[in-house]
């Protein structure tokens, strides 16, 4: 079931991810580095506000939807009411901040940021509903429509010369259109009504510690852009964001696809079979996460020169390539932490411990950024990010064992390192046989993928060999 659902979500999230990949290529060619830097700062600020005010609702929906499926409309009515209760004051505060801002350019961007925050938060809540309902087709329709509209409209406006405003407007419209096309009917018959005090207390007890955790995670992944803008300039933010987003978002997309399919299965196993069943499911899930993170990271680094030249605009390339390997492995560590180690706290309903791991990462990241950016520029920010994720992952792994019975790490790490070494090495060798950038990328990607899949078969990752043998023998 895990592999089948992963394939479903690979289509549902992978195709929109390719469109977002193309969007990076479009915007780094149509926007100047300083304009792309302003756009990146908008996304960073909206991301922080989204995490602080709305992330907990998505987590509550994903964790407890299965347990409340017998009273679905009542449960969603509570989620809807809580969303409105948060959205109204947040909108008012955002408008006041935007209108009081002294810089006319940033005043307009802040007004758009308020609209982006609300539409993005509601859109992501609908994605969580589709995921919790185990509806990958609807998930894919929502994601795909949003991605296509965002690049089409945003790219057109950027071509017309609207600068940093263009991609923001494209995103706002994309969220609205995708919901109207494929999301609204999931809320038919749902009337907003705040949940009872006991229910609300349990939801807040689960969601708020995770909100603090994700806010602290944002400090690691997003505050570097604000610090670069403060310590350097907006142009440096633009070139850093281009390289960071290409490396981090592409690998994280693969890991998120796996987790999107895997997490509901772990929750379902826990609800129906208890801790032992959840541990078995986590063993399969974790093996897939480790292999994708480490092998994918090795392959991505091996093909970095080709990927950067194809995707990133000329003005961004040299700086993007310098930070690329560091960000790739930071992403691999971050994905393993978020999609494996942290699940101990979510399934064990002990999310308060995540605050400690997030605080350690955030504090170390801020300190290292302040220390390294003045001397090493954006490369120092990449080093700080990698170090912070390593610290938080180690802490999460150790503390998680006290909360939930997790599967052993040795087989996961061993298989992932073997597969990553072989697939990454073969990809690098194959790509080096060609002078053409496209030929090198395609040959390296194909060779690395074939070797990686063969290694997964031989090492029986997530039980793939046993399942296929059973299926074909039957």
Q: pLDDT band for position 347 (50/70/90)? A: confident
pLDDT at 186: 86
Contact 319, 370 (CB under 8 A): no
- The string of pLDDT tens digits covering residues 105-129 is 899 999 999 999 999 999 999 999 9
pLDDT at 278: 86
Q: pLDDT band for position 194 (50/70/90)? A: confident
Q: How far is 206 from 156, CA to CA, in rounded Å?
A: 42
- The string of pLDDT tens digits covering residues 132-185 is 887 778 888 898 899 999 999 999 999 999 999 999 999 999 999 999 999 888
Beta strand ranges found along 333-449 (DSSP E): none
Q: How far is 220 from 226, CA to CA, in rounded Å?
A: 11
- The string of pLDDT tens digits covering residues 198-256 is 888 888 877 777 777 778 777 887 889 999 999 999 999 999 999 999 999 889 888 88
pLDDT at 467: 62
Q: How far is 259 from 217, CA to CA, in rounded Å?
A: 18
Short-list 172, 141, 156, 155, CA closest to 46: 172
User: For 401, which DSSP code?
Assistant: T
Give domain limits for the chain. Answer: 1-195, 205-407
pLDDT at 364: 94
pLDDT at 229: 93
Q: Has residue 11 got a pLDDT over 70? A: no
- The string of pLDDT tens digits covering residues 409-448 is 888 899 999 999 999 999 999 999 998 999 999 999 999 9
Q: pLDDT band for position 474 (50/70/90)? A: low
Q: Has residue 390 got a pLDDT over 90? A: yes
Task: Pull the structure tokens for residue 96.
Answer: 């006041």
What is the residue-wise DSSP string for 231-246?
HS-HHHHHHHHHHHHH
Contact 28, 312 (CB under 8 A): yes
Q: How large a percentage of the chain has pLDDT more than 90?
A: 53
pTM of the model: 0.79
pLDDT at 16: 66
Tell me what the pLDDT averaged over the chain comes to.
Answer: 88
Q: Has residue 18 got a pLDDT over 80? A: no
pLDDT at 357: 87
Roughly what angle, to the nearest 10 degrees, separates helices 378-400 and 197-221? 140
pLDDT at 137: 80
- The string of pLDDT tens digits covering residues 269-300 is 888 888 888 888 888 888 889 999 999 999 99
Contact 400, 286 (CB under 8 A): no
Short-list 344, 265, 188, CA closest to 8: 265
Q: Has residue 5 got a pLDDT over 70? A: no
Contact 360, 399 (CB under 8 A): no
Q: Which residue has the higher pLDDT, 359 or 466?
A: 359
pLDDT at 17: 66
Short-list 113, 51, 383, 103, CA closest to 240: 383
- The string of pLDDT tens digits covering residues 393-405 is 999 999 988 888 8
């Amino acid at each position: 079931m895990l592999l089948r659902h992963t394939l479903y979500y690979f289509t549902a999230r992978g195709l929109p991810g390719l469109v977002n990949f193309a969007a990076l290529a479009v915007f780094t060619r149509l926007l100047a580095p300083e304009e792309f830097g302003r756009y990146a700062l908008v996304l960073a600020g909206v991301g922080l506000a989204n995490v602080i005010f709305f992330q907990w609702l998505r987590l509550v929906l994903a964790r407890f939807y299965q347990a409340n499926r017998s009273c679905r409309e009542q449960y969603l009515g509570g989620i809807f009411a809580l969303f409105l209760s948060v959205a109204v004051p947040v909108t008012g505060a955002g408008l006041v901040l935007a209108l009081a801002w002294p810089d006319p350019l940033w005043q307009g961007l802040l007004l758009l940021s308020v609209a982006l925050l609300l539409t993005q938060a509601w859109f992501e809540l609908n994605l969580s509903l589709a995921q919790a309902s185990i509806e990958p087709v609807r998930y894919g329709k929502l994601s795909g429509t949003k991605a296509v509209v965002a690049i089409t409209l945003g790219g057109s406006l950027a071509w017309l010369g609207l600068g940093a405003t263009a991609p923001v407007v494209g995103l706002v419209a994309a969220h609205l259109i995708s919901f109207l096309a494929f999301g609204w009917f999931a809320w038919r018959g749902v009337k907003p009504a705040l949940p009872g005090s006991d229910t609300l207390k349990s939801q807040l007890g689960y969601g708020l510690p995770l909100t603090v955790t994700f806010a602290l995670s944002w400090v690691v992944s997003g505050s570097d852009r604000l610090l670069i803008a403060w310590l350097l300039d907006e142009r440096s933010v633009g070139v850093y964001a281009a390289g960071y987003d290409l490396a981090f978002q592409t690998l994280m997309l693969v890991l998120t696809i796996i987790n999107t399919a895997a997490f509901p299965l772990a929750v379902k196993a826990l609800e129906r079979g208890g801790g032992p069943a959840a541990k078995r499911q986590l063993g399969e899930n974790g093996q897939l996460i480790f292999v994708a993170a480490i092998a994918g990271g090795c392959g991505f680094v091996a093909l970095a020169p080709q990927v950067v030249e194809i995707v990133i605009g000329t003005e961004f390339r040299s700086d993007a390539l310098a930070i690329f390997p560091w960000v790739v492995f930071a992403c691999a560590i971050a994905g393993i932490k978020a999609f494996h180690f942290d699940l101990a706290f979510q399934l064990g309903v002990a999310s308060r411990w995540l605050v400690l791991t997030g605080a350690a990462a955030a504090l170390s990241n801020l300190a290292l950024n302040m220390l390294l950016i003045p001397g090493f520029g954006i490369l120092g920010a990449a080093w700080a990010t990698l170090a912070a994720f390593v610290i938080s992952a180690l802490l999460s792994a150790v503390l998680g064992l006290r909360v939930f019975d997790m599967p052993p790490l040795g087989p996961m790490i061993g298989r992932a390192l073997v597969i990553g070494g072989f697939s990454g090495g073969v990809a690098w060798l194959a790509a080096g046989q060609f002078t053409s950038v496209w030929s090198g990328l395609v040959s390296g990607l194909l060779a690395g993928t074939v070797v990686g899949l063969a290694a997964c078969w031989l090492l029986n990752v997530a039980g793939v060999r046993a399942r296929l043998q059973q299926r074909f023998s039957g």
